[in-house]
Amino acid sequence: MKEIDFVKFNKNRTYIRDAFTKKDGDVVELAGWVSDTRALGKIRFLMLKDISGIIQVVAVKGKADEESFELIDKISRESVIYVKGTLKVSNQAPGGKEIIPLETKLISKADELPIDVAEYSKTELPKRLDYRFLDLHRKSVQAIFKIESTIMQAFREFMVKKMGAMEAQFPSIIGSSSEGGTELFKAKYFEREVYLSQSCQLYKQMLACSIEKVFTIFTVWRAEKHNTVRHLNEARQFDYEQAFADEFVVMDVLFECIKYIIKEVLKKNKEELEILKVELKIPKSKYITFSQVKDLMKKNGVFCPDHDLSTEAEKKLGELYPDTVVFVHDWPIKGKPFYIMPKGNGLSGGFDAIYKGTEITSGGQRVHIPEILEKQLRERDLDPKDFKSYIDSFRFGAPPHAGWGMGLERLTMLMLNLQNIREVTLFPRDRDRISP
Ligand code: AMO
């Protein structure tokens, strides 16, 4: 393998997308992965791809330098190479331009591939995930994560620029449950037993009581035993919390936030949306009470439990209100966690948001009154002593506050009409998978 001076290369490098803007005869330096090769008599074709695009390299025996011809002749798919070559306008070439190599170097040879990485590969998802690092060589897979990156960036931008909120970081090791006792992963912390965080719920509330508007992108761990297409055991949440607010204030914030994110994706990821054949629409909003949803389900013959929405009910809402964020509010307090404010009549300040037939967000007005909090903890068989510092944080001047948590992977999956949450998770953690 010939050495490459990467400092020099990075100064001279042309990304493949930009190569198409160069003139006939221009010399460019490219690097990337071998997508495909083809032999036709004395001609060797190679499709070279980098993060920006794909271009044809053509070597003719006797005309191209001998080394380039030999390399292209023998190279394995997905190997990494450097090509210095002349740009040539050609009607037969994909995109109308090709590269005639002047110098070619092998950077890294690929072994025989364990999965098919062609764009229309039929390899099943579990196998693809076993080799996720290689799956990521595919344009359609890259497109998903480019869009997910825009979604995260847009969330931050919206929170900072539109809401004036402060980004914060919270601990991932917790001493007691924040979302109910059943889904905790235990961990050893010196002599003590601790848990991996189920959410940053209690901390974001404590922070909002002084900073007023706070947000984070937070990793959560849920020890849910069943593998489903919409659950992960390690997921990421967009969390927002605002002081001097009730659930109606933060539902509006959420709707504006989702619209902002979708607009940004439409603006920045046209190419990726095209690759994925996704027609993304800016959603409408629908506000509806839990009891109205129950009536609606009864009318449509869909089962819906008393304190929660069934998967079928969520699906039905998606059918009845397509391309809409459906805010289901006035939720029965029995179906909500201890930190949600009761409203009387068995109802609460809690809500869920449903998009394309699946829950993407939970939130609500919080309890900022210690006595109510203690009562609700006891009602859920939790010990107020385990929540002492959290309860105490509301004893010294705590404004009413509200907020929400939205699943990053859920939102991405639904925006892109994908059927399995693992498609939008780089390295998913589920019951069976902890590697890679
Ligand atoms: P909740 O538990 O409903 O609420 O989670 C909020 C949102 O996070 C996503 N989510 C998940 N995504 C994938 N796999 C999972 N196992 C998983 N669990 C949750 C969903 C869900 O709607 N603290 C509250 C939020 C709040 O009130 O601020 C909470 O965590 O999209």
What band does 66 get if pLDDT is binned at 50, 70 and 90? confident
- Tell me which residue has tokens 């089962």: 303
The phi, psi pair for 186, rounded to 5°, reads -85, 150
Give residue-wise pLDDT tens across range 292-304.
999 999 999 999 9
Asked whether 350 lines ligand 1 (CB < 6 A), one says: no
Per-residue pLDDT, 2: 55
Asked whether 222 lines ligand 1 (CB < 6 A), one says: yes
Retrieve residue 173's tokens.
């090791």
- Average pLDDT estimate for 327-354: 97
Residues 167 and 204 sit within 8 Å (Cβ to Cβ) = no
The architecture (CATH level 2) of 6-108 comes to: Beta Barrel (2.40)
Cα 239 to middle of ligand 1, angstroms = 9
Retrieve residue 391's tokens.
């309860």
- Indicate whether 182 pLDDT > 70: no
Give residue-wise pLDDT tens across range 380-409.
999 999 999 999 999 999 999 999 999 999
Nearest protein CA to atom 27 of ligand 1, as residue: 363
* Distance, CA of 338 to CA of 432 (rounded, Å): 31
* Distance, CA of 142 to CA of 46 (rounded, Å): 21
Give residue limits of the domains in the chain: 6-108, 134-424
Cα 91 to middle of ligand 1, angstroms = 52
Helix (H) or strand (E) holding 299: helix 290-299
Asked whether 362 lines ligand 1 (CB < 6 A), one says: yes
Number of neighbours of residue 222 by Cβ within 10 angstroms: 19
Question: Atom of ligand 1 at shortest distance to CA of 421?
Answer: 13
Helix (H) or strand (E) holding 10: helix 6-12
Cα 407 to middle of ligand 1, angstroms = 6
Asked whether 349 lines ligand 1 (CB < 6 A), one says: no
Nearest protein CA to atom 15 of ligand 1, as residue: 231
Asked whether 410 lines ligand 1 (CB < 6 A), one says: yes
Question: Atom of ligand 1 at shortest distance to CA of 363?
Answer: 27
* Distance, CA of 157 to CA of 167 (rounded, Å): 11
Per-residue pLDDT, 120: 84
Per-residue pLDDT, 48: 98
Question: Atom of ligand 1 at shortest distance to CA of 241?
Answer: 28
- Indicate whether 363 pLDDT > 80: yes
- Indicate whether 28 pLDDT > 60: yes
134-424 adopts what CATH topology?
BirA Bifunctional Protein; domain 2 (3.30.930)
Give residue-wise pLDDT tens across range 104-141.
999 999 999 999 999 888 999 999 999 999 999 999 99
Asked whether 231 lines ligand 1 (CB < 6 A), one says: yes
